[in-house]
Amino acid sequence: MSNIVIQLSGKELEKVKTYYLENKVDRNAPGLIFSAKLPDVVISIYRSGKIMFQGAGSEREASRWNMDVQGSTSSIRTTHLPENLSTSSVIGSDETGTGDFFGPMTVAACFVPHDKIALLKELGVKDSKNLTDTQMVDMSEHIKAACIYSVLILGNVKYNSLQQNGYNQGKMKAMMHNQVLKHVLRKIAPDKPDYILIDEFAKKDIYYRYIGKEPEIIRENVYFSTKAEGLHVAVAAASIIARVAFVEEMNRLSQSAGVTLPKGAGPKVDEIAAKLLLSKGKEFVSTITKSHFANTEKAWSLVKQKKRNT
């Protein structure tokens, strides 16, 4: 039986938890903070930051997170990428807001022709995780002025209704990536990129299975890689555009809520959600959150606690 252990940081652990939320199972073991079960693999997340994948599907699932593999019984290989990728004309795409209880999921694609790579690097364009929101707002304006791009914001009302209709996050992401890529290809036509690079959230075959039978599916010269922001500046640019769109939408939602909405899915989020349930009601909260997250339940238990204490 295949058994793989990887080590991730707290922020990334949250992503893994969110990803497997629908497959969550209740299990008690020392140090265990989360467990999920797929048909061919059991995923266990420990307080130490270690994640264990057990079962026939462990390599497939572990490779999604592409981290330092410890004690692996099988090797993990990333997809073969073109050698001249980083110096070519590329459309990159990336998403954000997937692990945040409040606010929308956003996806962006950006076309960076080879002769603009230097300019974007000069602007300091790199992985959005290494930039502050303020830095990115400025950078996003420069990127948008210099490059052709497309950005999609999936509002919470639509997100929740899709989720209730059986769409998982992977499927929503795949559909949105396909959309933004289509938009950018249309805008740059008859010009074409050498390659399209998607920051990988699902393996290629799963990505296309998620898209299903859309009338127009972008397949030509498409490559997938984790940490793709580091492989071509177009993905970094897309990640910045997506992030800024997310932050702007969060600011707008914060105004309508009358409180600064926290990012992520931690205890602060539960606290604010509980306050909003009391002041604005359940209906309102569902319009600004991803309702299926565990935060909904946690916020309700805080509400009950508060009521008991008054």
DSSP bridge pairs for 102: 289
Q: Residue 249 or 270: which CB sits closer to Mn ion?
A: 249
Strand 222-225 to strand 195-199: parallel, antiparallel, or no bridges (unpaired)? Answer: parallel
Q: Residue 199 or 270: which CB sits closer to Mn ion?
A: 199
> What is the nearest approach in angstroms of Mn ion to the Cβ of residue 125?
15
Tell me how far CA of residue 120 lies from CA of 112, 301, 302, in angstroms.
9, 47, 46
Q: Which stretch binds Mn ion (CB under 5 A): 27-35, 67-75, 93-101, 291-299?
A: 93-101
Residue 297: CB partners within 8 Å, gap ≥ 6? none
Q: What is the DSSP letter of 216?
A: S
Q: Does 94 bind Mn ion (CB under 5 A)?
A: yes
Q: Is 26 annotated as a binding residue?
A: no
Residue type, position 37, single letter: K
Q: Does 14 bind Mn ion (CB under 5 A)?
A: no
> What is the nearest approach in angstroms of Mn ion to the Cβ of residue 149?
16
Distance in angstroms (rounded) separating the CA atoms of residues 274 and 115: 50
Letters for 186-205 (x = contact with Mn ion by CB under 5 A, - = none) are -------------x------
Q: Does 100 bind Mn ion (CB under 5 A)?
A: no
Give Rg (Cα) of the chain: 20
Chain residues 224-253 in contact with Mn ion, contact rule CB under 5 A:
none
Distance in angstroms (rounded) separating the CA atoms of residues 33 and 275: 26
Q: Which stretch binds Mn ion (CB under 5 A): 68-76, 86-94, 109-117, 178-186?
A: 86-94
Q: Where are the beta strands (DSSP E) in the chain?
A: 3-7, 32-38, 41-46, 50-54, 69-70, 90-96, 105-112, 148-154, 195-199, 222-225
Q: Is 100 annotated as a binding residue?
A: no
The DSSP code sequence of 227-250 is TGGGT-HHHHHHHHHHHHHHHHHH
Q: Residue 46 or 65: which CB sits closer to Mn ion?
A: 65
> What is the nearest approach in angstroms of Mn ion to the Cβ of residue 99?
11
- How many residues contact Mn ion, by CB under 5 A? 2
Q: Is 191 annotated as a binding residue?
A: no
> What is the nearest approach in angstroms of Mn ion to the Cβ of residue 94?
4
- Annotated binding-site residues read 94-95, 199
Binding-site residue numbers for a divalent metal cation are: 94-95, 199
**Which positions lie near Mn ion, rule CB under 5 A?**
94, 199
